[in-house]
Chains A and B, each alone.
Chain A
């Protein structure tokens, strides 16, 4: 019989022994597998969709991106598109079969029975094979007042061909009739909701006449040389435009899609590997315990002539068998989970096609196997060092006392960690902060058993007074302090991360909100979702709202300012320059002038930026306006920061005199003194509702958006880290199952001298609770401590004690303990006392 056979039989004969390892590896690999499958499924669907929708395109023309264009630097699309006539010119090029233009803008769809308007995108379409949309029913719009709507949106709001509805665009609401239902590739819509309009409605819905086409797509006749045709198209398009091949366009669209999926995949994988690391701790613990319990077996094998290498191999083969089974199950489960998610979540169904890449599955199985086998290295080595004489020993092989050296080292590391953290925090030394946190974590691993033993001894008296079951449980925890500590460490890591992220993230959130609240001078702001800015009609309506006192129009970006500054604060580009009415800077826009005087011909610059750039009052700075015109202005005032306006501000009149009117991207509103804030706010909202792409944000709402965003982020990260906590739960369960197997005789004895089943269960539960509470409290204390120290340095001490989260974490610790003990306690209670006595 080979060692592999022995290993396989050992695993099969004692599945409970490996239960914790199996569960830990299964959960971690399932996580990894679903991350990878989700990534591939998204990438596959998005990519094939881009290819399907744009399949007929052979050539695409876009406005050239001028690297020197300041608006490009700010990430805005070029505001000027391609000339309207260019479509016909390109269509006339030799070898071009047809050409269509694309133009789009955001709109809102109001449906009588649906409360909130639905955000979507209007696209100008013409009936041509190149049009990326297909029709599910009806026809494409051909006249003004006709639209086609994507099938899913239509189904969601209960609209069908022939129905009337209202589309609100930048020019206000318009009544339209639905003439067709569309799909985009394999998906329903290209954006949130697709509103397809005819060329005749282009100006009304997308501003086509003013802006021109954003892209022109063309097909090439069969037999024509694509390269020749493309260069002919490039000649027609002129230097203002760039020409792409159909493949380039599809690659770009597919690449963008794959990029999104990749980023998501990388993020999820990071958490999955973290879960795997926590799993490694449990695997290590399991094998350490099993090896200790089997000392006699190994000693016997050694006495019978098995070499130490063979013993080591046997343990590793066991690890391999367990991890293979678990990883394969995890890989499969991941596929099933993603498959179910795609089936059951409609939002995902349109975005993902279940895709299982063999390479991804290989990655999952390899990760699981490697982590397990590596975690079993040290235990395997220990097993191989078993001396044959130990077969004859009677002493309990599972318990090794904690060496004094280890205790001292552990406590010293913990103490050093605390000192480093405090020093780093007080002295603002990042290196000490990081070092302190690391020392603490290492200290917890080294000194854990000592701490567990110390805590258990302190608890023995008080708990012993409660019940004998508790007292014995505490005594067991003390006896197995090493194992308890190792089990708790899995939980420490999980809880530390959850608490640290929540506490630090919460501190950052509150700091950000605190800063925001100081930075608002206005009562409410409105901003435009499109680059054309807020329509003048809207601004007029806004001024007429009851309760509105003043409206300050802001041209958010009129140019850029190149400043010599150390540090990467503003990247390579310039500082955005805004324009506003100088008379409104202080009272409506909330700019606090700290130095100098506001002068209509000069610039107001944020003081901190001026200091960083070494610019002072009276200095000339060079501004480049959006159209490229240079403008030298004198800095006449320094200010604080305001949420309402960027940090470099020019007078509107100066800018408009130079380059003409600029779009008003935002406006800040101040109410009349004593106006009813609620009424005024409702009035502003009512006006904004009539225009698409206008968002109303009041000071509180900015805060609430920031808060919502942070909270979402924190709970998402918390949930992902929670997987590590779940794995730690399996670790506790595992340790208990192993401990019960080890203590069969003891349990049988206690049962025969009168321990009831419920007392026995209580004993097991107390052991689990002690482990989980020690782990949770240690993790939470470390997490909050490190977060506090970091906040002191990074956020100037702004730190909200996360009492609430800490409470939840503690409750969680208790719940984890209780849950982990259910199965082992049941197992122990089922134990036949006679069985135990007989084996004695």
Chain B
């Protein structure tokens, strides 16, 4: 935690899509208390693809949920852009998630009764705004799913479902896309198309993305990797490759 290369976000700069200060999340009380996130301060820069790695149970998902406003931190503060979300009421939080964040979960990303296309525009529909048609067309084009888009999720493959989920996350051009093991359930070909899709969004559109993964190969698409262990940030790696990530993982696992 004392490692000097960890970027300390500067509250004055607008260069961050999201920031967390002294974030701690404790589940339960007394003897059964589990500190899932332990005093983490982290900044996710705009236009950067950040990967978050760590062993199972190290608090990756919990950190993400706190940043997304899906979970309430025990102590600490979270900002999305300039807006502090800690202490926001449910309605404001929900709107913020809808308009300024995009989500990709490991599985079950789509509403079963809506077609893929309807799922794609769901956040805009919920906001009651007309989705930007040119952008929809472009996304549909990039998704490359053709007429499969008019099918229900149950009629799509896992990879297709994840692609639609990523498309939906990008749809509102959010400040930040949060993805929790988006390729966890997929084969390598599907994983590749999802990762390509996400990194394109960062490089071509300047989209900010934070992604939790266990896969060093997937992490290599990111330009920055943050390592967690026992709820704390224990290391960071810039411009990672599969090999450097593996090395660092071994190093951390040993130390």
* Proximity string of chain A (740-775) to chain B, C-beta cutoff 8 Å, 1 when within and 0 when not: 000001100111111111110000000000000000
Task: Name the interface residues of B82-118: CB closer than 8 Å to any CB of A.
Answer: 90-91, 94-95, 97-99, 103, 105-114
Query: Which one of B91, B107, B108, B125 contacts A468 once the chains associate, using CB atoms below 8 Å?
Result: B125
Which residues does chain A contribute within 8 Å of B128, judged by CB atoms?
Answer: 467-468
Which residues does chain A contribute within 8 Å of B98, judged by CB atoms?
Answer: 753-756
Query: Which one of B68, B105, B168 contacts A840 once the chains associate, using CB atoms below 8 Å?
Result: B105
Q: Size class of A's contact patch?
A: 20 to 34
Say whether A475 contacts B70, CB under 8 Å.
Answer: no
Say whether B123 contacts A753, CB under 8 Å.
Answer: yes
Residue of A nearest to B96 (CB): A754
Q: Does A834 contact B (CB under 8 A)?
A: yes
How far apart sit A253 and B113, CA to CA, in the bound complex (Å)?
68
Say whether A759 contacts B91, CB under 8 Å.
Answer: no
Interface of A is mostly: helix
How far apart sit A748 and B70, CA to CA, in the bound complex (Å)?
10
Query: Which one of B91, B105, B111, B112 contacts A756 once the chains associate, using CB atoms below 8 Å?
Result: B91
* Among B91, B106, B111: residue with most chain A CB under 10 A: B111
The smallest C-beta distance from B68 to any residue of chain A, in angstroms, reads 7
How far apart sit A750 and B98, CA to CA, in the bound complex (Å)?
10
* Proximity string of chain A (439-467) to chain B, C-beta cutoff 8 Å, 1 when within and 0 when not: 00000000000000000000000000001
Say whether A840 contacts B126, CB under 8 Å.
Answer: no
A834-B70 in contact given A467-B128, A759-B126 (Cβ < 8 Å): yes
How far apart sit A131 and B95, CA to CA, in the bound complex (Å)?
84
Q: Does A476 contact B (CB under 8 A)?
A: yes
Q: Does A172 contact B (CB under 8 A)?
A: no
Which residues does chain B contribute within 8 Å of A754, judged by CB atoms?
Answer: 94-95, 97-99, 123, 126-127
How far apart sit A833 and B97, CA to CA, in the bound complex (Å)?
12
The smallest C-beta distance from A198 to any residue of chain B, in angstroms, reads 82
Say whether B95 contacts A752, CB under 8 Å.
Answer: no
Query: Which one of A396, A750, A837 contacts B70 once the chains associate, using CB atoms below 8 Å?
Result: A837
Which residues does chain B contribute within 8 Å of A478, judged by CB atoms?
Answer: 113
* Among A396, A479, A756: residue with most chain B CB under 10 A: A756
The smallest C-beta distance from A403 to any residue of chain B, in angstroms, reads 19
Q: Does A472 contact B (CB under 8 A)?
A: yes
Q: Does A395 contact B (CB under 8 A)?
A: yes
The smallest C-beta distance from A472 to any residue of chain B, in angstroms, reads 6
Q: Does B150 contact A (CB under 8 A)?
A: no
How far apart sit A698 and B110, CA to CA, in the bound complex (Å)?
73
How far apart sit A750 and B90, CA to CA, in the bound complex (Å)?
14
Say whether B97 contacts A468, CB under 8 Å.
Answer: no
The smallest C-beta distance from B5 to any residue of chain A, in angstroms, reads 32
Q: Does B67 contact A (CB under 8 A)?
A: no
The smallest C-beta distance from B171 to any residue of chain A, in angstroms, reads 10
How far apart sit A834 and B128, CA to CA, in the bound complex (Å)?
24
How far apart sit A600 and B219, CA to CA, in the bound complex (Å)?
118
How far apart sit A761 and B94, CA to CA, in the bound complex (Å)?
14
Say whether B97 contacts A753, CB under 8 Å.
Answer: yes
Q: Does B132 contact A (CB under 8 A)?
A: no
Say whether A834 contacts B113, CB under 8 Å.
Answer: no
Residue of A nearest to B125 (CB): A468
A476-B113 in contact given A754-B127, A757-B91, A834-B70 (Cβ < 8 Å): yes
- In order of increasing CB-CB distance, the 7 nearest A-B pairs are A754-B98, A475-B113, A468-B125, A840-B108, A756-B94, A754-B123, A754-B126
24 example contacts (A-B, Cβ-Cβ < 8 A) are as follows A395-B154, A396-B154, A468-B128, A472-B111, A472-B114, A476-B113, A478-B113, A745-B108, A746-B111, A749-B110, A750-B122, A752-B70, A753-B103, A753-B123, A753-B168, A754-B94, A756-B95, A757-B91, A759-B126, A833-B70, A834-B65, A837-B70, A840-B106, A840-B107
* Additional A-B contacts beyond A468-B122, A754-B99, A840-B107 (16; CB < 8 A): A396-B112, A396-B154, A468-B125, A746-B111, A750-B111, A752-B97, A753-B98, A753-B122, A753-B123, A754-B123, A754-B126, A756-B91, A757-B91, A837-B105, A840-B105, A840-B106
